Amino acid sequence: MIIVRHFFLAAIPFFIVLGRANCDEPLFADNVESERFAFDQEQLITVAVEVFGEKCSFVLDTGCSYSAVDKIYVERMGKVLTEQMIGTATSEKRVSFFKAPTLKIGTTAPELIETLTAIQALDLSQIRSAFGSGINGIIGMDVLGNRILKISGDGKYCSFVGVHQDHPSQITERIVFEKMSPTTPRLRMRVSDEGFHSMTIDTGTNAVVSLEHRLFEKLRQKGRVAIEGGALVAGLGETIESKRGILDRIELGHFEVRNVRVRSGTQSVIGLGFLERFETEFDFPNRRAYFRPSKRFHLPERHNLSEFAVAIKNEKLTVVGVRGIAKDAGIQINDIVTQINGNPASELSISKFRVIQTEPDTELNLTLEHADKPYKVGLKLKRKADPFPSATHGDDSASEK
């Protein structure tokens, strides 16, 4: 069974007022762009943040209503202001809110200074296990809701801009958000032959699409989702298993995407794996989103072809799920990956390794340890045929730059 670990947080509305102290001040002048923050398909969007005088990484997460820091900072945060129940990818949890420290975002001058009235403290250990060390916080919609966020599927970066600029020579789809801050942004998309459904825009997950459990099951029964197996979803200090498959088609405005990788979840979500098909601007203050196809729009989705998944456990690259060719080769859960194509596994980030696992027509040569005994495995990575006709399309000229 392939394990896909990712995270999103969808908080329910609180009965207290939380937000920026200076939310009415414009962040940038027209035509000004902030520092660019890089990402790739297997890594979340992370930004450099200084908090309590320490430098670390925060996930940029439109699926999270309120910003958060890891619980490791609790002793420095003083008294609890309030406690509230929040909804997550895995369950509902009671979390504590504290007076927020000053956040200095970015590495170039001038830094983006954020002064929030309150911030939540969460257990982010599962996120670090799935995506690597150094992630100690989340930038949520209490910060992002006052900005225009640009995400480039081609350039693999995001940035903040002062004003949206139209591109008349390119096909652009403008979509009005169904709901907005202080909750998370949502828009309506046509899902297969089941009509329009409300989808959360969640940059805090590297998933492609998540479908609410009942919708997922209904589409499976109608043959619109081809089941592939299961997935582990990383949440706040825990993981749960969900179903995973391929959806025949989904539509965003006049853009149709076929053979979309989906999982079942507590709500319907589009993540970075879907957004990388577009050059996107989220104009949160005006409740609008703009989508233009990127160079990846017509390309097949990248996914794990090695049929085993890894996470960081005790600072080691550890197998957390296995099926298919990997299981046939003898790889087992809790085995340790020590070498990848002749190089020490410690020299390769977990996100880089996940990219290697998606490359078709290549051979992956591994050295692993099982019960402290080393063994070698060679896997030939091949892309399987899509279960549905693969005519992903919008306007053919739309993907040309």
CATH number of 308-381: 2.30.42.10
- pLDDT tens-digit series, residues 61-89: 998 888 999 999 999 999 999 988 876 55
343: CB partners within 8 A, 6+ apart = none
Domains 180-277+390-399 and 308-381 agree in fold: no
Pairing between β-strand 173-176 and β-strand 288-293 as defined by DSSP bridges: antiparallel
299 C-beta neighbours (distance < 10 Å), count: 12
- pLDDT tens-digit series, residues 175-207: 778 765 457 899 999 999 999 999 999 998 878
- The full DSSP string for 348-378 is S-HHHHHHHTT-TTEEEEEEEEETTEEEEEE
Q: Quote the tokens at residue 29.
A: 């002048």
Task: Output the CA torsion 310→312→313→314 (10° steps).
Answer: 150
Per-residue model confidence (pLDDT) at position 224: 96
Low-confidence ranges of the chain (pLDDT < 70): 1-34, 39-43, 87-92, 108-111, 132-133, 155, 162-171, 179-182, 229-241, 391-401
Q: Are residues 57 and 139 in contact, defined by beta-carbon separation less than 8 angstroms?
A: no
Per-residue model confidence (pLDDT) at position 14: 28
Specify the CATH class of 180-277+390-399 in words.
Answer: mainly beta
Q: Quote the tokens at residue 361.
A: 């027509």
Fold topology of 37-146: Cathepsin D, subunit A; domain 1 (2.40.70)
Per-residue model confidence (pLDDT) at position 226: 92
Residue 24: strand, helix, or coil? coil
* Domain extent listing, the chain: 37-146, 180-277+390-399, 308-381
- Which helix (H) or strand (E) segment is 3 a member of? none
With 0.85 as the threshold, say if the pTM is over it. Answer: no
Residue 148: strand, helix, or coil? strand
